[in-house]
Every structure is written in structure tokens, then in C-alpha cells.
């Protein structure tokens, strides 16, 4: 079974600044994906970024990037130039390739300060 | 991009009645769909995984006779909460995946209130 730990229940950042959300996980799998999803007040789950565990290069999507440390089983999300629309709950989720199930962390509520 | 439609977005029902929630993939065929439950300020908990044309696989602790899941076609999965009780009140979210190596797309969720 996979366990996911997001140790920061709440974070806040000044608009235009950078913030990093942490995530650690425990898995015995060798092939898996890692996802970050955001859930704004509308409660719609939105994919932020995805990383394949076999890739050494960290994934990047515009202002969002990850720091993937496979040996440490760490998968942090960095948001640059924070915008008001980034305010949401952020969930980290690993998923085993072939198994398809995602295990979600407890989430980090991100507040953007104008 | 891939779109998943979930209906209704909210529903109120009386104790003892049944409620059906629909999850449709609008522009792709979903070989696998997932049903999650989310309590206020908590994470998503997977309830079951359904594959088109076969029985759903329920997570430990989820009553399969209470939460009936049907995935009769590649574009539609339904979750029926039978004999609903107030403790079943929650936010239910479906997710669909087209095939291996494709991303997961989520519905907009259904807020169920049992009175």
C-alpha cells in the first residue's frame, strides 16, 4: 500500500512570490507516476503537473515545477510568481503504473496574500 | 481536452431512499472509472474502481451493497447510494481514465445531503 504525507496543512504566500509545497510518499513500486492536483473552492480537481518516476528530469509546466527526489521519495511542488488564482487545496498523489489507483495525500491549503 | 461530466451537482434526499449519481466521459472512452468520497476539509478517499463490462472493485471498508456501481458502457458509470442515511452525506467525485498512460480527468463532484 502507498502512503502519502503532506506535512504542511496550510501555507500562505505573497502574490508574485514563490512557494514550495512538500510531499513524501512510501511505495515499494518501481514504476509509478506522481501527480499534483489542485482543488479550488469550486471543488473541481485540476491536474497541475505530472512526473514519471523513471524520468530523472524534473517536470515543469509554466510557473509550476517539481523537485523529484526518488531515493528520498520526495515530490515537492514549486509555484513561481504566485497568482490569486493559485489559491486552492493542493493534493499530491502517486499512482502505480498498471494499477491505476491514485492515493491522495491529506492536502495543503494555499492562500495567496494580495 | 478530456471532459468528464458528473450529475447531479447536488442532491438532497430523505433517509431510506436511493440516489443515483452519473459520471460521463464526453469526448473519450473511459475504460476505467473511479469513485471517491470526500468529507469536509479532508482528502479524497477511493471507494471503488470500475472497469467497463465487469464488476467494480471496492476498497476495504466500503459496502458494495450500499454503494452500487455500474459501468455498462465506455462513457457512463453510475454510483447508486441505496437506503441512504445522514452519515452518507458527503461529496462524491468520479474520475475517468481512457487507457494506460493517459491522465486522470475528474468530474465536478456531487454534494449529497441526506435528511
Please write the tens of the pLDDT for every residue from B3-14: 899 999 999 999
In which band, very low, low, confident or very high, does the pLDDT at A84 lie, cut at 50, 70 and 90?
A: very high
Q: How far apart are the first and last CA of chain B?
A: 38
pLDDT computed for residue B63 by the predictor:
95
Interface of chain A toward chain B, CB-CB under 8 angstroms: 35, 37, 42-47, 50, 91, 95, 97-98, 100-107
In which band, very low, low, confident or very high, does the pLDDT at A1 lie, cut at 50, 70 and 90?
A: low
Q: Is the pLDDT of residue A81 over 90?
A: yes
Convert the pLDDT of each residue in A13-54 to its tens digit: 999 999 999 999 998 887 888 999 999 999 999 999 999 888
In which band, very low, low, confident or very high, does the pLDDT at B100 lie, cut at 50, 70 and 90?
A: low
Minimal Cα–Cα distance from B108 to chain A, Å? 5
Burial A88-110 (b: 16+ CB within 10 A, else e): bbbbbbbbbeeebebbbbbbbeb
Closest alpha carbon to A60 in A36, A38, A82, A40? A36
Three-class secondary structure of residue B76 per DSSP: strand
Q: In chain A, which residues have their Cβ closer than 8 Å to the Cβ of B95?
A: 45, 102
Strands (E), chain A: 3-5, 10-14, 19-21, 24-26, 32-39, 46-52, 60-61, 64-69, 74-79, 88-96, 108-113
pLDDT computed for residue A56 by the predictor:
87
In which band, very low, low, confident or very high, does the pLDDT at B88 lie, cut at 50, 70 and 90?
A: very high
Grid cell at residue A27? 511505495
Q: Are B32 and B101 in contact (CB under 8 A)?
A: no
Q: How far apart are CA A47 and CA B96, in angstroms?
A: 13
Q: Is the pLDDT of residue B102 over 80?
A: no
Q: Which residue of B has its CA nearest to A98?
A: B100
* Beta-carbon separation of B100 and A98 below 8 A: yes
* Residue to substitute from A6, A32, A43, A105, interface B, most B β-carbons within 10 A: A43
pLDDT computed for residue B8 by the predictor:
98
Q: Is the pLDDT of residue B16 over 70?
A: yes
Q: Is the pLDDT of residue B19 over 90?
A: yes
Q: Are A82 and A16 in contact (CB under 8 A)?
A: yes
Closest alpha carbon to B24 in B7, B45, B47, B44? B7
Q: Is the pLDDT of residue B103 over 80?
A: no
Q: Is the pLDDT of residue B97 over 90?
A: no
Furthest-apart CA pair in chain A: how many Å? Answer: 43
pLDDT computed for residue A100 by the predictor:
72
Q: How far apart are CA B55 and CA B109, in angstroms?
A: 22
Q: In chain A, which residues have their Cβ closer than 8 Å to the Cβ of B106?
A: 37, 44-46
CA of residue A80 relative to chain centroid, distance: 14
Convert the pLDDT of each residue in B40-81 to its tens digit: 889 999 999 998 888 899 999 999 999 999 988 989 999 999
Amino acid at each position: 500500500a502507498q502512503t502519502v504525507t503532506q506535512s504542511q496543512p496550510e501555507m500562505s504566500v505573497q502574490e508574485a512570490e514563490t512557494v514550495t509545497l512538500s510531499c513524501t510518499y512510501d511505495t515499494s513500486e518501481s514504476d509509478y507516476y506522481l501527480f499534483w492536483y489542485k482543488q479550488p473552492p469550486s471543488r473541481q480537481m485540476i491536474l497541475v503537473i505530472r512526473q514519471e518516476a523513471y524520468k530523472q528530469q524534473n517536470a515543469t509546466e509554466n510557473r509550476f515545477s517539481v523537485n523529484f527526489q526518488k531515493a528520498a521519495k520526495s515530490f515537492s511542488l514549486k509555484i513561481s510568481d504566485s497568482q490569486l488564482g493559485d489559491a486552492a487545496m493542493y493534493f499530491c498523489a502517486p499512482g502505480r503504473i498498471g494499477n491505476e489507483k491514485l492515493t491522495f495525500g491529506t492536502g495543503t491549503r494555499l492562500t495567496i496574500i494580495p | 481536452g478530456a471532459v468528464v461530466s458528473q450529475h447531479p451537482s447536488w442532491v438532497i434526499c430523505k433517509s431510506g431512499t436511493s440516489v443515483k449519481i452519473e459520471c460521463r466521459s464526453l469526448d473519450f472512452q473511459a475504460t476505467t472509472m473511479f469513485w471517491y468520497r470526500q468529507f469536509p476539509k479532508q482528502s479524497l478517499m477511493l471507494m471503488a474502481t470500475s472497469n467497463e463490462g465487469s464488476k467494480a472493485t471496492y476498497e476495504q471498508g466500503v459496502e458494495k451493497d450500499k454503494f452500487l456501481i455500474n459501468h455498462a458502457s465506455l462513457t457512463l458509470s453510475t454510483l447508486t447510494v441505496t437506503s441512504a442515511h445522514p452519515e452518507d452525506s458527503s461529496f462524491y467525485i468520479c474520475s475517468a481514465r481512457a487507457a494506460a498512460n493517459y491522465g486522470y480527468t475528474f468530474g465536478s463532484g456531487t454534494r449529497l445531503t441526506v435528511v
